Chains A and B, each alone.
Chain A
Amino acid sequence: MLDLEKLLEEDPLEIAGRTFNSRLIIGSGKFKSFQQNKEVLEASGAQIITVAVRRVNITDPNKENLLDYIDPKKYLILPNTAGCYTAEEAIKTAMLAREATGINWIKLEVIGDQKTLLPDMEETLKAAKILVKEGFVVLPYIFDDPVYAKKFEDIGCAAVMPLAAPIGSGLGLQNPYNIMFIKESVSIPVIVDAGIGSAADIPPVMELGVDAILTNTALAEAKDPIKMAVAMKYAVIAGRLSYLAGRMPKRDYAVPSSPLKGVPYKS
């Protein structure tokens, strides 16, 4: 009998020397409450959760804090540089994030356009170079561009995070070929980030051989985020195992599954 736990243990996700049994990474934005976020995290089986860096409201500083709900000893808290539009802003934010989390991992986001939230690849690469030199484990959010993905690998990024579709769009994978090409062009982990709309969007992406999925809005805006988290947990596993199992070739015409000989009453 194949044991699912064993299958997953034999095939861990490895980023910068750390291993994870779950290939699902979730965000922590837009949930109804910290409690809901915590329950979603537990239900998803994710071991990495992204957070944002923001100013403390100094006129009302003692509101509840996300970290009262999520134990940083149990989960990898991955801070992002969301909201940054230049390399300089992103680097300064990463420095604050490193002090706040106590670890040197950063999900690097440098946005180039407010409407589409697409990354500014030039600024992202510039920031990544400096952050790598500063000793950060850099995971850049990038456009699904295989040429750029390679550049990020070459300068020492720990993974690349190409989009499936724009952030928060829920459109699902728009360009499987580019993701496939990225997977071919780099040997660091490829984490498809942004654009996942539901659990059903995940297996086709994982089947391309990508290493992990990051999703936030599809969980937070689901009618039942906890059920969606469970669905996504298994969707990631299904897609991964399907990739490892190897799909059959695609054919233009039907091929019968049952024997052609010995059909009853046939003369």
Chain B
Amino acid sequence: MKELYNTSLDYEALEDILLYMVLYINGEPREVKDELNLYELLDHLGIALREVGLAISVNGEVVPKSKYTDVRLKEGDSVEIIHLVGGG
């Protein structure tokens, strides 16, 4: 019970709140570093940036590849990352 009354700050949790944000990437919540731009997000996820074959939308708006370094993501943003696959 003692820890319930422990008022000392949990720095780790605080750091988490300050430096990380939750994004919804392809419908799934993901914790990533705060203020990532799209270029950094792809890098973080290990997704190769293809000129032909890849597209991203943020909150329903498609972002052109020329703007990937300009668009900074915010807490709660919905990001769709799509590619082209086999289809008829």
Contacts and interface: CB of A to CB of B under 8 A. Distances in A.
A206 to B, nearest CB: 19
A45 to B, nearest CB: 18
Interface of B: 25-28, 30, 45-48, 50-57, 60, 62-65, 80-88
Contacts of B62: 95-96, 98-99
B52 A54 contact: no
Interface residues of A, number: 40
19 contacts: A27-B88, A30-B86, A51-B86, A52-B84, A55-B81, A58-B25, A58-B26, A58-B81, A65-B50, A65-B83, A67-B50, A72-B52, A77-B84, A96-B55, A96-B80, A100-B52, A100-B53, A100-B83, A214-B88
Nearest to A168: B88
A62 B46 contact: yes
Q: Which 6 A-B pairs have the closest CB atoms?
A: A52-B87, A27-B88, A216-B88, A99-B55, A100-B55, A28-B86
Given A54-B83, A58-B26, A58-B28, A100 B54 contact: yes
A21 interface: no
A186 interface: no
Given A55-B81, A55-B82, A56-B26, A102 B87 contact: no
Nearest to A79: B84
A82 interface: yes
A37 interface: yes
Given A55-B80, A79-B84, 18 more contacts: A28-B87, A53-B83, A54-B83, A56-B47, A56-B82, A58-B25, A58-B26, A61-B47, A62-B47, A65-B83, A67-B50, A77-B52, A80-B87, A96-B82, A97-B84, A99-B62, A99-B64, A99-B65
